[in-house]
């Protein structure tokens, strides 16, 4: 404060002298000096680094838990596995349970066609109506068996009443009970045959229904035509139930597992998929080819029949090298490094890398396998490390 007061006194004295000596020109010079002095008095003092300050460890980026969460950096364990990446050609197909070739359970004449190709249907919805003599016979069997069972049940009840009065012997009651049970069994069998045939009515009219929900892809009969037992009347496909089918060399059957990840490229771009089935010797004409089935890891698929290519990582038969995600490997000052987590944050660890497949890179030297490394957003640690080295250089 005393220094500022003295400076102010000197400035005032200088102003007075300049006014006396220079007039207007002096006043202009005075204004400039006052502005300069005010700026200097308001400017913050520069803080020079202390000679005693200890720099942080070289190659280390210090981060606490809150900072780590804010950056979005994920930390993963070093894994073992590795392998080769094999590219396969495939296609989009409907799942096995997504297709239905709907057939007539009994022969008959087509009365009406109730759907058309491209029409959406639900499970249990009628597709065609048949008039079947065999269906009428099945319904007659149901009616006759039901009547026989009813009569046998009533006879058994009468014998029980008479036995209670001492009119008939107990053996007759037991015989009528057996007859009633047999008649009930025959009635149940008749009803089951009728249901399997489509539950025809007394006229033999039957509705052939779709067993699944989906879209009618074809109708193969017309009104007035005859359909033999088992003949296909329509085909229905559920377009939402699709999967990927790849033809692979026979040796891949032992190297690809259910749950393996694939990177698939289709007409709509790239997406991830999971292997859900591996079938050896499933190729056509005894080719011995392996069929690999996969489903998208979230999201939909292109339409059925679309060609796709897939990359699958096959297991390394030599025992498995150390691997890290590809995004964990960074280049710092020309050296290949991964950022290993420690108590203070992350340390840049030089490594020697090997093959790259399926989003992972083999680590041949530099890690023991017990480390945890930065994966997603690891490049932020590289940028922070370069920033820190630049500040130390100045």
pLDDT tens by residue, 129-145:
999 999 999 999 999 99
For residue 329, what pLDDT band results from cuts at 50, 70 and 90? very high
Q: What is the pLDDT of residues 293-312, one digit of tens each?
A: 999 887 778 888 899 998 88
Range 165-171 contact pairs with CB under 8 angstroms and sequence separation of 24 or more:
none
For residue 85, what pLDDT band results from cuts at 50, 70 and 90? confident
| DSSP of 292-343 | EEEEESSS--PPTT-EEEEEEEEE-TTS-EEEEEGGGEEEETTEEEEEEE-S
Predicted TM-score (pTM) of the model is 0.52
Residue 5 scores a pLDDT above 50 = no
What are the phi and psi torsion angles at 350 (to 5°)?
Answer: -65, 140
- Distance between CA atoms of 376 and 71, rounded to whole angstroms? 10
- Distance between CA atoms of 272 and 319, rounded to whole angstroms? 26
Q: Provide the β-strand partners of residue 90.
A: 246, 308
In this prediction, residue 114 carries a pLDDT of 96
Residues 6+ apart with CB under 8 A from 363: 78, 321, 322, 323, 324, 338, 351, 352, 353, 354
In this prediction, residue 188 carries a pLDDT of 96
Q: What is the pLDDT of residues 142-184, one digit of tens each?
A: 999 999 999 999 999 999 999 888 888 889 999 999 999 999 9
Which DSSP letter does residue 54 get?
A: P
> Helices in 64-127 by DSSP H: which ranges?
65-71
- Distance between CA atoms of 338 and 176, rounded to whole angstroms? 87
């Amino acid at each position: 404060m005393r220094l500022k007061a003295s400076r102010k006194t000197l400035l005032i004295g200088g102003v007075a002298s300049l006014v006396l000596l220079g007039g207007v020109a002096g006043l202009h010079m005075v204004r400039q000096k006052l502005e300069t002095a005010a700026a200097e008095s308001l400017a913050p003092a520069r803080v020079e680094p202390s000679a005693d300050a200890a720099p942080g460890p070289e190659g280390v980026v210090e981060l606490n838990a809150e900072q780590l969460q804010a950056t979005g950096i994920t930390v993963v364990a070093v894994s073992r596995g590795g392998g080769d990446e094999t590219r396969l050609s495939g296609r989009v197909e409907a799942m096995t349970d997504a297709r239905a070739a709907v057939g007539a359970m009994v022969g008959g004449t087509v009365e009406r066609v109730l759907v058309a190709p491209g029409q959406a249907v639900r499970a249990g919805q009628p597709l065609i109506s048949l008039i079947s003599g065999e269906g009428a016979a099945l319904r007659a069997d149901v009616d006759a068996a039901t009547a026989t069972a009813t009569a046998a049940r009533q006879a058994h009840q009468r014998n029980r009443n008479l036995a209670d009065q001492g009119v008939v012997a107990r053996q007759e009651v037991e015989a009528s009970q057996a007859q009633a049970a047999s008649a009930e069994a025959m009635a149940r069998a008749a009803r089951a045959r009728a249901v399997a045939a489509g539950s025809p009515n007394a006229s033999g009219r039957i509705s052939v229904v779709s067993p699944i929900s989906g879209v009618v892809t074809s109708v193969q009969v017309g009104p007035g035509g005859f359909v033999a037992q088992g003949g296909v009347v329509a085909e229905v496909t559920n377009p939402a139930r699709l999967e990927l089918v790849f033809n692979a060399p026979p040796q891949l059957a032992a190297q690809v597992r259910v749950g393996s990840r694939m990177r698939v490229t289709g007409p709509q771009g790239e997406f991830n998929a999971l292997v859900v089935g591996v079938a050896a010797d499933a190729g056509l004409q005894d080719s011995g080819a392996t069929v690999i089935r996969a489903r998208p890891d979230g999201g939909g698929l292109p339409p059925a029949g679309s060609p796709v290519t897939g990359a699958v990582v096959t297991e390394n038969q030599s025992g498995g090298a150390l691997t890290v995600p590809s995004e964990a490997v960074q280049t710092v000052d020309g050296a290949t490094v991964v950022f290993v987590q420690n108590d203070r944050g992350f340390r840049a660890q030089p490594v020697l890398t090997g093959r790259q497949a399926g989003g992972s890179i083999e680590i041949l030297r530099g890690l023991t396998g017990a480390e945890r490394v930065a994966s997603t957003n690891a490049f932020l640690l590289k940028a922070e490390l370069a920033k820190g080295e630049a500040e130390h250089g100045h």
